[in-house]
Structure 1
């Protein structure tokens, strides 16, 4: 027998220490995790056997067994599922990088190592076995292969893999329990844990002893009537199917009958899954055909913007031997997808109308993903727009587009918004000043997808979207509340001809660095700001594309001056005598100031520092 000693991947040892010694106060959930893994292994083999029956030949009655040896102080969990080979052991048990090890450790440490949601969120359920075991031995043989392997570790940083013997496919986990964990050697304790957490699993969980005892009902929960299922049973099935520990925010269980028949049991999680923003954007619904697992990797069963939904879909109208390639073009699945999408959006609409606070929590968690539907799903764009919520200058609460339109001012014919990465920074943007002065609400767009769906939609209820950082945002038609005359501050503005003269002088000084210099009414407190021309790409989108290495044309901004600001009026007076070094420095400093406020870099930091120093010296004389 050859023995191969390997080290866990970097940081796994640290993670195991957290799991073993600090994470859980409720240690019994280790059994739920191991049983869920065994169930998944059986489901996978049942699916693979549809196209290759030899894989399960001679051992096709799937089941999970528990066995206690009080003398040896061991608890054994075994299944006859798909099993693992040498490489699978290393990839699945020797590393958990795919589950976000670093993020897990950070979150565990920040939570004080007491958050029971963490293991499910980061997909490291197998390692929960080390909470109660001082040593774990895994013996496994992959279906279709003759060779078996044994994996062994005490969770302290290393593991070994050796040749082994196993009569058939599947996996056996032998846990050598710690001295103080003897409760998990008691039949009554195991019976209670399985009944509490794993009764919904549709594979028999058998306790071996003098007589074999099946501990669970072994019936697919989604096939049962909703009235016969308790909230606790729904919750535990969600934990199983989502490999999560949080509470489901919404449960959808219904059977569709008609031309196409299917049953779905879907859950919207209460917290954000770790892989929500991965580039693959995979959904995680499990597809069954007459209770036979087919796949959990089928993008055709639900739109990608609903990928946070967890659960199962079971239909008898798909062929049992359907391949994943066939699923891509299956008209039955297309109709199921349409039905599921309509149902989910309909239920979300009900929640939004009846539970504003609860829906705000949902949107705070999944809104950035839901917005993808506005851009991608033309058939349901109207529904997605009505479900969308935004932060705005109106207050701290989420607002809908319908609420925004209802609050629009007399003379306002556009939906104003400002986009950027950080909400707090946007709230301080000088571009907001004129809008706030007139009581005009502005939406904050802080998600990258906003830059794509807004041009695609262009309007809502015949009101077009207008970025306030573009030149087309015109406030002249909108009057201040309770004020029938021109804005009060206009009386304090510099003479129009004089301000035009200053703008022309600034344009000469700045040259190609700016597209135009002009007066604006969008500012009240700040001296200047930069905006993009109406036909140009929004400046936030330019920054975002550049950050991702995209080749973006360098379009010069428009520099806007506040004619009521004391600094601008002093510069107007200075410009009467023509150009000067002071005027030149002021033009460059104000442009750089505007860039900095917008979160952009100053092109020439050395020149900026010199001009700033010079201006300060003159001011202190």
Structure 2
């Protein structure tokens, strides 16, 4: 067989369905791509002027977007570098041929850099055919003596290049929208898309529609804003993150946050990022007030590429535990994929992510050291992400372990580093286990408030980090009695009936004080955590059965307070055979009291207890 060599051919009839349906994730991205191309055209002209290759007039370099909703036409115009007929044939007619690459290659010897450019792949223009059945480009190159050229195409399959009518340098792209896309590309929607993707573009964008311009002027080939002097740009060309932190006031930081995230609540504090290696990156991360633990995390960390929005909450750049923050990150070095909507894999991402994490940890550490009172005050709002980060990232734990704090039942806060070795008491909620908390505080013991679902995991993690030197114990599991009690209380134990949710394994009697409850329940901390784990985790049936077996065999002790008058009455009745039923009834009531003190009395058991309490109260009134 004869050897044959040649070039692969790409059929536009086959490639355009791919561009329309698969290359770009969202239909509105077409406008981002066309705005980005216009921005690059302006950047090229400015850099040509900087190296003395082009002469700029006093006109403002800018972009115009115009919508003729009635006719179904959308115009994107700029007064940038423009194109010749030859440029159109080279860069528009050849799919995936990027003019930016040629530009940088040609002028790099003059000290020109690619910083500020957005396009790389030469595909963005063709996204116009996602919404348009016909596209026209009327353009005039910056070069002296250049002639205007007009490129036209239906469906992006066939094209025609002829003489154009543009009088000033730049390009005017007109989209003839198809019937389906005319319906949703309204005046409101177009402004929304501009705000979404180009709100912080480095070049001013002017928007025109029938609401602020006569319809006859909307389809002008040359720049319309030359004639309309009272129009204002719809974007912010110098966003706050590009400024030096020393030049920004707290009010400016706060105002930027409130406006960018449409919030009516001021942030707690913020971190201003500025790095040059391994990526050039600028940005601001805010610590917001967290309303609840289940609010949406969408759109909280906005990622920009040369001031053009490309994505949000990119886990390669921002660890998931920082998604609870809000902010903006802008980098011209992010390795984007062809559609500029997603990031390509890159080994430097890890270093970038670690840098951001370190900056966040440094900010929290500084606040802890410089303003401990405010740190304690905002802890409720930041504790979830701090704990999540500690469990997720060993380096974050190393940075935060000395500033991890806990609230105490007495209203104060204590740092993890200040906690003693040995047993540390906690309660699952500030308003639970009050009787146990009162007893602990009378003994001079502090009780931490661990009221988040993540706290069970945090305690286990910190116990492991302490290498057995510290143990977290729920306050109702801390009461120790003499295991060598001389009396046999098995007869008393028989008077306490088991319920569906509680089975008392052992009865102990000990003095707890006259103001303590008549009885307290005691369950081992390990069993309590196992029970909590089985409730939280989605586990398979075999593991669930194993847990269930262990939980069913777990011991729950009932500790009677021999200083209590009610307990003493019960014990006297229990000694009399004639009063056994009354003693059994009182035993049920005492057991319910102990469940109430523990916060585990619910449903019908609670209703029965209330009814029994009313009955006892009525008896007391009669007596």
TM > 0.5 fold call: yes
Q: Are residues 1:413 and 2:426 paired?
A: no
- Name the structure 1 match of 2:282: 264
Aligned residue runs from structure 1 range 435-514, under 5 A: 435-458=440-463, 463-469=469-475, 471=477, 473-474=478-479, 497=486, 500-502=487-489, 504-507=491-494, 509-511=496-498, 513-514=503-504
- Is the CA contact (8 Å cut-off) linking 1:147 and 1:165 kept in structure 2? no
Structure 2 CA distance for partners of 1:520 and 1:174, relative to 1, 3 Å: same
- Is the CA contact (8 Å cut-off) linking 1:416 and 1:466 kept in structure 2? yes
Q: Are residues 1:237 and 2:256 paired?
A: yes
Separation in structure 2 between the aligned mates of residue 248 and residue 605 of structure 1, nearest angstrom = 43
- Is the CA contact (8 Å cut-off) linking 2:202 and 2:236 kept in structure 1? yes
- Name the structure 1 match of 2:58: none
1:401 to 416, 421, 427: 416
Q: Are residues 1:528 and 2:519 paired?
A: yes
Separation in structure 2 between the aligned mates of residue 243 and residue 142 of structure 1, nearest angstrom = 30
Separation in structure 2 between the aligned mates of residue 357 and residue 253 of structure 1, nearest angstrom = 22
Structure 2 CA distance for partners of 1:586 and 1:271, relative to 1, 3 Å: same
Please state whether the residue corresponding to 2:206 is helix, strand or coil. strand
Structure 2 CA distance for partners of 1:305 and 1:263, relative to 1, 3 Å: same
- Name the structure 1 match of 2:38: 61
With normalisation by structure 2, the TM-score equals 0.58
Separation in structure 2 between the aligned mates of residue 297 and residue 147 of structure 1, nearest angstrom = 34
- Is the CA contact (8 Å cut-off) linking 1:371 and 1:384 kept in structure 2? no
- Is the CA contact (8 Å cut-off) linking 1:248 and 1:270 kept in structure 2? yes
Looking at CA atoms only, which structure, 1 or 2, has the larger radius of gyration? 2
Q: Are residues 1:593 and 2:609 paired?
A: no
- Is the CA contact (8 Å cut-off) linking 2:512 and 2:563 kept in structure 1? no
Separation in structure 2 between the aligned mates of residue 531 and residue 545 of structure 1, nearest angstrom = 22
Structure 2 CA distance for partners of 1:256 and 1:577, relative to 1, 3 Å: same
Q: Are residues 1:277 and 2:294 paired?
A: yes
1:357 to 373, 379, 383: 373
Q: What are the Cα deviations for residues 210-231 of structure 1, in whole angstroms up to 9, with x where unaligned?
A: 3456657623543343344454
Q: What are the Cα deviations for residues 137-174 of structure 1, in whole angstroms up to 9, with x where unaligned?
A: xxxx99712489xxxxxxxxxxxxxx989999965249
- Is the CA contact (8 Å cut-off) linking 1:285 and 1:309 kept in structure 2? yes
Please state whether the residue corresponding to 1:535 is helix, strand or coil. helix
- Is the CA contact (8 Å cut-off) linking 1:530 and 1:560 kept in structure 2? yes
Structure 2 CA distance for partners of 1:317 and 1:606, relative to 1, 3 Å: closer
1:333 to 325, 349, 354: 349
Aligned residue runs from structure 1 range 48-447, under 5 A: 56=33, 60-61=37-38, 144-146=130-132, 172-173=187-188, 202-206=202-206, 208=225, 210-211=227-228, 215=233, 218-258=237-277, 260-272=278-290, 277-278=294-295, 281-282=297-298, 284-321=300-337, 327=343, 329-393=345-409, 395-405=410-420, 413-420=422-429, 423=430, 425-426=431-432, 429-447=434-452
Separation in structure 2 between the aligned mates of residue 54 and residue 605 of structure 1, nearest angstrom = 62
Deviation, structure 1 residue 402? 2.9
Deviation, structure 1 residue 335? 1.8
- Is the CA contact (8 Å cut-off) linking 2:496 and 2:591 kept in structure 1? no
Separation in structure 2 between the aligned mates of residue 466 and residue 591 of structure 1, nearest angstrom = 26
* Structure 2 unaligned spans of 5+: 1-22, 40-61, 67-73, 78-126, 135-177, 208-224
Structure 2 CA distance for partners of 1:255 and 1:55, relative to 1, 3 Å: closer
Deviation, structure 1 residue 360? 2.4
Aligned-pair Cα RMSD in Å: 4.9
Structure 2 CA distance for partners of 1:604 and 1:147, relative to 1, 3 Å: farther
Please state whether the residue corresponding to 1:319 is helix, strand or coil. coil
- Is the CA contact (8 Å cut-off) linking 1:283 and 1:308 kept in structure 2? no
Separation in structure 2 between the aligned mates of residue 49 and residue 509 of structure 1, nearest angstrom = 66
Structure 2 CA distance for partners of 1:434 and 1:605, relative to 1, 3 Å: closer
Structure 2 CA distance for partners of 1:441 and 1:56, relative to 1, 3 Å: closer
Please state whether the residue corresponding to 2:563 is helix, strand or coil. coil
Structure 2 CA distance for partners of 1:372 and 1:606, relative to 1, 3 Å: closer
* Structure 1 unaligned spans of 5+: 1-45, 68-77, 82-140, 149-162, 176-193, 406-411, 477-489
Deviation, structure 1 residue 567? 1.9
Q: What are the Cα deviations for residues 330-381 of structure 1, in whole angstroms up to 9, with x where unaligned?
A: 3222221111111101111110111123222321223233222233333322
